[in-house]
Amino acid sequence: MLAPAGDYRTSYREDMTIFPTRNSRIALWLGIALLCLAPLALGRYELGLLINIGFLGIAALGLNILVGFTGQISIGHAAFFGFGAFASAWLHEVAHIPVALCIPLAGLMTAAVGLVFGAPAARLKGLYLAIATLAAQFILEDFFARAQWFTGGVAGRITEPFTLFGWVADREQSYFYVVLAWTIIMFVAAANLMRTRDGRALVAVRDHYLSAEMMGINLAYYRTLSFGIASFYAGIGGALYAHYLLFVSVEAFNILFSIQFLGMVIIGGLGSVMGSLMGAAFMVLLPEVVQVAADALSGSAIDRALRLGASISFLREMAIGAAIILFLIFEPDGLARRWRLIRAYWKLYPYSH
Amino acid sequence: MSMRRRLLGAVAAAALALPAAAQAQPIPVGHLMDNSGATSDVGVPYGQGVSDALQWVNRTRNGINGRPLNVLGFDYGYQAPRAVSQYQAWSRDRVVAIQGWGTADTEALIRFVTRDRIPYISGSYSAALTAPKGRTDRAGVEAAPYNFFYGPSYSDALRAMLIWAKQDWESRGQQGRPRYVHMGANHPYPNSPRAAGEAMAQELGFEVLPAIQFALTPGDYTAQCLTLRNQGAHYAYLGNTAGSNISVLRACQTAGVQVQFLGNVWGMDENAMKAAGTAANGVVFPVRTAAVWGQEAPGMQTLQQISRISDPQGQVYRPVHYLAGVCSAMLMVEAMETAAANGGQVTGERIRDGFYARQDWVPRGFEGVCAPSNFSPDDHRGQLRVALYRARVTGDTTQGSVGELIRAGTMRLEPVTTIELERRAEWLGW
């Protein structure tokens, strides 16, 4: 879309590159280099936010593959995120597997669970599927609360920081690199997935399932596969969360969190790989911004006039709800589209027509 | 006055003020509250007590040794993971001590506060927090050398109530073995004293019935009441906080279930009595302070001053949890003063040692209100004397405020007995 004039693709290979122009590739490497330097410049608070964006972005990307690319729906994503978190902590505690290995293993375990709960997707669509995934949310949540051996029950499970060959990532400055590496791997993998036969099959299922089936795409297989992939991403994100917070508790993985994941995907942009990261960034930064606003408000004239008092803390939740509604009305294609428009504006400036 | 002289004066004033400002560097302290979550019914008055007391210390006592407390409050909505991430933010702000809240989050933070040497004064009285060196012979009792709380542990309070229940059973001339049942949500807080209570009940000769579950949020618990009746329970422990306990009490009153309820320390208070009405009549529960609001005691005047921080008119009735919040904040303040005495640094380690500095410790100015505590490096069971009260509700509580109802005598807290538990070594930590 934004290829410079005279740049004709002469092979399929060229047509499929993720970063089509030289400038975009330079920007990519520069961006990664800058992020690698971030721990030198940023404080622990800012790094903490970036880490949050990283693991939530990975999980949101999983949901985007399911919702945005395959056209399915899931309102149980937080449960899979939680399963990954518990699985990683459990593997480390029981089998004494190094954390670095626990994270991908937890992803695989979650994928297996996701395939089981995704099985109804082979036969159900739309609202019915939504309700089926809601059931997954409740079944898993209850399982977390009761499976003492796996989750530590309602008291939760304490886990250990990430280590690799004696290097311990127990602080934001070091754990940031772990999350950064995983984020890059998972996002590159997703971008590549969409270029493969399987990825295109997923998109075909979304666009028109009947046509897809007539083209020889096995609907049941791809719908279930999509659940597996989404759960794998959720599991990796959850495992990264577990070894960041070092404490996993069933309370975190409720249905509200699942809805937040949907919010990230919608705000970021359905069917956009980078949009998932943008949506996660938005969801992480919005409460912080609202908190700053609330702190500024508390004790002020508005606070006194409206008698907000203690309920000022509810502003946070309300702001998230309002943001989702506003995005659905004014930017249904999400932040990803807004970003493309901004880029196009600068690229074409001053001859925007 | 010329401009130059005025400037000179300002510079001189600034020069004088600077060293003073440098000396009065604020002490950062964390304050974790539940103002919006499942336990906000009791979390709000407790948190208000803590926050008023700390503000009062800043205003009237000029902070700790001239350094004001910088209290960093956070409402975590009773979500343990949010508490853990907030703790990490606070450890970046280098807080020297934390006023905490729930059992799930306090227990999850044990290892962190031990590692970072930050005294953690919780609203949770879980017995698991009382073993500073841990226990090797009991699973799940970790070393918690930086955890403190004001009051008897949940387990000890329940043991005391069971001792009373046994006496009550005999004094009423009842025959046979009394039946005891534990009720509460499947959550670390109600679960905390369950094993201890059931073991104690066995020891005292109760028949222990299978526990009954009900959620931490208000709801319809008629089914639980019918189970109570079918099991033929005589004494039932309510392990949740006031809000959901009220639902049980009302449902049981409607269903006509006659059981002696034993409330957790957070399970009953004046607000709950008003909300439950006559359904709350007769509930026995521990009160952590030597006096309740409106009673005469030497320290009550200090408490009224503190109350005016958030209620300048002095009209509001303060429930038992507010008083407990003040006492637990004042324990921390005095431990900090001990740390700061003789030019000492206010560090986590020195604050912890401040908790060991006194015997039968009642904060200065709170005599007759705060009950005496004893902490030692081997045993953080601060209180083993458990004062039991009975909620008395004699009429309609729908009209009037809590203060008016208490003044009118419609509701009152009636002392039952005080049980002095032995400091048994095998009870430490559970």
Inspect the interface and report whether the beta carbons of A44 and B107 lie closer than 8 Å.
Answer: no
The structure tokens listed for B396 are 């309609």
A246 near B CB under 8 A: yes
CATH classification of the domain holding B210: 3.40.50.2300
Only one residue has tokens 């020069």, namely: B15
Which residue among B44, B84, B186 sits closest to A154, beta carbon to beta carbon?
B186
Element containing residue B322 per DSSP (H, E)? helix B320-340
Name the residue with higher pLDDT: B171 or B342. B171
Cis peptide upstream of residue A350 (ω within 30 degrees of 0): yes
What confidence tier does A5 reach under pLDDT thresholds 50, 70, 90? low
Specify the pLDDT at position B23: 55
Q: Which of B44, B81, B188 lies nearest to residue A154, judging by beta carbons?
A: B188
Instruction: Tell me what the mean pLDDT of segment A182-186 comes to.
Output: 94
Q: How far apart are the first and last CA of chain B?
A: 73
Q: For A215-238, what is each residue's pLDDT tens digit?
A: 899 988 999 999 999 999 999 999
In chain A, which among 253-312 make CB contacts under 8 A with chain B?
Answer: 310
Cβ-proximal residues to B285 (8 Å cutoff; 6+ apart), any chain? B161, B262, B263, B264, B265, B267, B268, B388, B389, B391
Chain A, residues 187-226, CB within 8 A of chain B, namely none
**Residue among B232, B278, B239 at smallest CA distance from B257:** B232
For A82, the closest chain B residue by CA position comes to B81
Mean pLDDT (chain A, rounded): 86
pLDDT above 70 for A4? no
Two tokens, residue A237 = 């994100």
Q: Confidence class of residue A7 from pLDDT cuts 50, 70 and 90? A: low
In the block, tokens 């203060």 appear at B403
pLDDT at B3 over 70: no
> Could you tell me if residue B27 is inside a domain?
no
Measured in angstroms, the CA of A220 and the nearest CA of chain B are apart by 37
Q: Which is it for the CA torsion B214, B219, B225, B226, positive or negative?
A: negative
Q: Is the pLDDT of residue B16 over 50?
A: no
Q: Which positions in chain B touch A313 (Cβ < 8 Å)?
A: 35-36, 75, 77
How far apart are the CA of B127 and the nearest CA of chain A, in angstroms?
A: 14
Most confident of A109-113, A156-160, B105-109, B188-192: A109-113
The domain tally of chain B equals 1
Nearest to B81 among A45, A145, A245 (CB): A245
From the CB of residue B139, how many other CB atoms can be counted at a distance below 10 Å? 7
- Give the pLDDT confidence score for residue B19 in this predicted structure: 44
Query: Is B124's pLDDT higher than 50?
Result: yes
Instruction: Please give the residue of chain A at the shortest CA–CA distance from B187.
Output: A154
Query: In this predicted model, which residue has the larger pLDDT, B329 or A46?
Result: B329
Say if residue B11's pLDDT is above 70: no
Residues composing chain A: 353
**Residue B104 to residue A247, Cβ atoms within 8 A:** no
Give the chain B residue whose CA is nearest to the CA of A251: B79
Q: Mean pLDDT, to the nearest integer, of A1-9?
A: 61
Q: Which of A78-82, A302-306, B351-355 has the lowest mean pLDDT?
A: A302-306
Domain spanning A38-348 has what CATH number?
Answer: 1.10.3470
Residue A330: is its pLDDT beyond 50?
yes
Q: pLDDT value at position B22?
A: 46
Residue A252: list chain B partners with CB under 8 A.
79-81
Q: What percent of chain A has pLDDT over 70?
A: 92
Return mean pLDDT, chain B: 89
pLDDT tens-digit map of B370-407: 999 999 999 999 999 999 999 999 989 988 899 899 99
Give the residue numbers in B contacting A (CB under 8 Å), as ranges: 35-36, 44, 75, 77, 79-81, 84-85, 88-89, 92, 104, 107-108, 111-112, 186-188, 191
Q: Does A314 touch chain B (CB under 8 A)?
A: yes
Q: Tell which residue, B33, B103, B147, has the closest CA to residue B377.
A: B147
**Can you give the pLDDT at residue A311?**
62
Structure confidence at residue A318 (pLDDT): 79
Residue A307 banded pLDDT, cuts 50, 70, 90:
low
**What CA–CA distance (Å, rounded) separates B64 from B355?**
15
Q: Are B403 and B306 in contact (CB under 8 A)?
A: no
A-chain residues near B75 (CB < 8 A) = 310, 313
B255 burial type by CB count under 10 A (0-12 exposed, 13-18 middle, 19+ buried) = middle
Please state, as a whole number, how many other Cβ atoms lie within 10 Å of the Cβ of residue A25.
13
What per-residue confidence (pLDDT) applies to B20? 46
Residues 121-160 of A with CB under 8 A from B: 145-146, 154-156, 158
Mutate to test the interface with B, among A249, A295, A315 (most CBs of B within 10 A): A249
Distance between CA atoms of residues B52 and B73, nearest Å: 12
**Is-contact B183 B237, C-beta < 8 A?**
yes
- Is residue B419 very low, low, confident or very high in pLDDT (cuts 50, 70, 90)? very high
User: pLDDT by residue (tens digit) across B293-337?
Assistant: 988 899 999 999 999 998 888 889 999 999 999 999 999 999 999
Give pLDDT, residue A55.
95
What is the residue type of B17? A
Contacts of B79 in chain A (CB under 8 A): 251-252
Q: Which residue of B52, B92, B110 to mutate against A (max A Cβ within 10 Å)?
A: B92
Contacts of B188 in chain A (CB under 8 A): 154-155
Partners of B92 on chain A (C-beta within 8 Å) are 43-45
Of B122, B52, B34, the C-alpha closest to B326 is B52
pLDDT in tens, B175-208: 889 999 999 998 889 999 999 999 999 999 999 9
Check pLDDT > 50 for residue B18.
Answer: no
| Parent domain of B414 | 154-291+385-427
Given B35, B80, B89, which is nearest A249 (Cβ)?
B80
Q: How many CB pairs under 8 A join A and B?
A: 55
Residue B395 lies in a domain: yes
Question: Are A247 and B84 an interchain contact pair (Cβ–Cβ within 8 Å)?
Answer: yes
The mean pLDDT of A135-156, rounded to a whole number, is: 88
Interchain CB contact of A101 with B (< 8 Å): no
Q: What is the mean pLDDT of residues B220-238?
A: 93
> Can you give the pLDDT at residue A313?
61
Residue B4 has a pLDDT of 56
**Among the partner residues B35, B89, B112, nearest to A310 by beta-carbon distance:** B35
Nearest-Cα distance to chain B for A246, in Å, is 9
CB B291 within 8 A of CB B367: no
Q: pLDDT-based confidence at A351, cuts 50/70/90?
A: confident
Return the pLDDT at A303. Answer: 66
Question: What's the mean pLDDT in A338-351?
Answer: 80
Instruction: Give CA separation, B426 vs A238, B359, B429, in Å.
Output: 39, 22, 8
Q: What is the nearest CA distance from A248 to chain B, expressed in angstroms? A: 7
Min Cα distance A14 → chain B (Å) is 45
Q: Which of A200-209, B27-36, B139-148, B164-173 has the lowest mean pLDDT?
A: B139-148
CB contact under 8 A, B88 and A48: yes
pLDDT of amino acid B9: 52
Confidence at residue A247, expressed as pLDDT on a 0 to 100 scale: 86
Q: What is the pLDDT of residue B353?
A: 93
Mean pLDDT of B230-245: 92
Highest-pLDDT range among A20-34, A171-185, B11-25, B129-143 = A171-185
The CA distance from A108 to B191, in Å, is 33
A37 part of contact set with chain B, CB < 8 Å: no
Per-domain residue ranges for chain A?
Answer: 38-348
What is the pTM for the complete model shown? 0.81
Of A44, A246, A249, the CB nearest to B92: A44
Among A141-155, B263-277, B386-400, the least confident range: A141-155
Decide if A49 touches B, using CB distance below 8 A. no
